[in-house]
Amino acid sequence: MDAWAIWLIIAGILLICEMLSLTFYLLWLSIGALVGAAVAFVAPEAYFWQVVAGCLVAVVLTVFTKPLVRKYRGSKGFRDIGTELIGKQGVVVEPIEEGKNGIVKVGGDTWTATSAAPIGKDELVRVLKRSSTIIEVERWEDIY
């Protein structure tokens, strides 16, 4: 298999992982892999330069887009749904067991959820905090 095809497969896998994680870091790595594929297409035997070009692009994108993202998130009118979730009430769709994730519906969205204590299906919960795609909840009646 040609090196450029391998780079494209890597770029595709990273892009799919990015869509699942929503962090933007894997997007930059995916673009770096695309650059590696372009270099491999032009110079198939220059493996070192393929890796260097891909890494350089990924690092440059990561470094230079961080201030832009910080500026955008700090701008007036930006709403992060994750911070709005904290304190809201939800309903457990799939039970949350000790050491395992469950599913919670908050508003119109469903989220993967964890809890310090097991929570059964259809119980009311309150959102405590949110990471990238998982929320931490507690039983609603434990609050009062």
Tell me the pLDDT of the chain averaged across its residues: 86
pLDDT digits (tens, 9 = 90+) for 91-131: 999 999 988 899 999 888 888 999 988 999 999 999 998 88
Are 129 and 86 in contact by the 8 Å Cβ rule? The answer is yes
Domains of the chain: 3-74 (no CATH), 81-142 (2.40.50.140)
Question: What confidence category does residue 73 fall into, taking pLDDT thresholds of 50, 70 and 90?
Answer: low
| Residue linked to tokens 């040609």 | 2
Residue 84's identity, in one-letter code, is E
Residue 142 confidence (pLDDT): 56
**Nearest-angstrom CA–CA distance, 98 and 120:** 11
- Supply angle C-alpha 53, 27, 36, rounded to 5: 25
